[in-house]
């Protein structure tokens, strides 16, 4: 069975280290796991119930919801902005939490990981992301964590896939998320 894992990256920067982590996750995914990096979070308007009306939902939000509905699991990668998750990531979670009770997360397994420049690797942002996704209906795998500190120096000349320690940890994260998704599908 092929498991579709949708990667949502909380940084819009082309050279983002979190984006590079998502790319590495795709390369290191076990057989049967397809990690798809979602492109287009920058185009999704801020969530507003006035525009979340059947028949007039913005196209960018519809595309996000469709990609999320088609996913079996989520890999969310968050940097830390001012001690919390970036607004673009929170906005995506808000869109995916609706319609209330039938959002796209719908009990699907979610792993939240990331890297940041600070000494803790963005743990506050990742904890806040886990909280928001859990409230939005995702089945957050609480013990599946990877927070990589010092991103600016650690990945200055090395892509995360070429860092053996990071590659090993990321391989384990994706493999465990894949296994959780397989168990959820079989249940």
Please choose, from the candidates 122, 126, 153, the residue with its C-alpha nearest in 3D space to the C-alpha of residue 142: 126
Tell me: pLDDT of 46 over 90: yes
Neighbours of 112 (CB within 10 A): 33
Q: What is the pLDDT of residues 53-112, one digit of tens each?
A: 999 999 999 999 999 999 999 999 999 999 999 999 999 999 999 988 889 999 999 999
pTM reported for the whole predicted model: 0.96
* pLDDT category of residue 1 using cuts at 50, 70 and 90: low
Of 105, 165, 98, the closest CA to residue 139 belongs to 105
Q: How many domains does the chain have?
A: 1
* CATH label of the domain that carries residue 151: 3.40.50.360
pLDDT surpassing 80 at residue 144: yes
Residue range(s) defining the domain that contains residue 90: 3-186
Report the side by side order of strands in the sheet with 3-9: 33-37, 3-9, 73-77, 109-115, 139-148
| SS3 category, 107 | coil
């Amino acid at each position: 069975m092929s498991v579709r894992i949708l990667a949502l990256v909380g940084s819009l920067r082309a050279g983002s280290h979190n984006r590079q982590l998502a790319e590495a996750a795709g390369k290191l995914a076990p057989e049967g796991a397809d990690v798809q990096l979602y492109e287009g979070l920058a185009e999704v308007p801020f969530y507003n119930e006035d525009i979340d009306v059947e028949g007039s939902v913005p196209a960018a939000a519809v595309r996000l919801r469709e990609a999320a509905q088609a996913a079996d699991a989520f890999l969310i990668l968050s940097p830390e902005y001012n001690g919390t998750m970036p607004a673009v990531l929170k906005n995506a979670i808000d869109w995916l939490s609706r319609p209330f009770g039938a959002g796209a997360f719908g009990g699907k397994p979610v792993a939240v990981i990331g890297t940041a420049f600070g000494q803790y690797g963005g743990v506050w942002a990742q904890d806040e992301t886990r909280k928001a996704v859990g409230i939005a209906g995702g089945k957050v795998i609480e013990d599946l964590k990877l927070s990589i500190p010092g991103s600016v120096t650690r990945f200055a000349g090395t892509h995360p896939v070429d860092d053996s320690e990071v590659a090993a940890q990321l391989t384990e994260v994706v493999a465990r998320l894949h296994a959780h998704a397989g168990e959820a599908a079989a249940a």
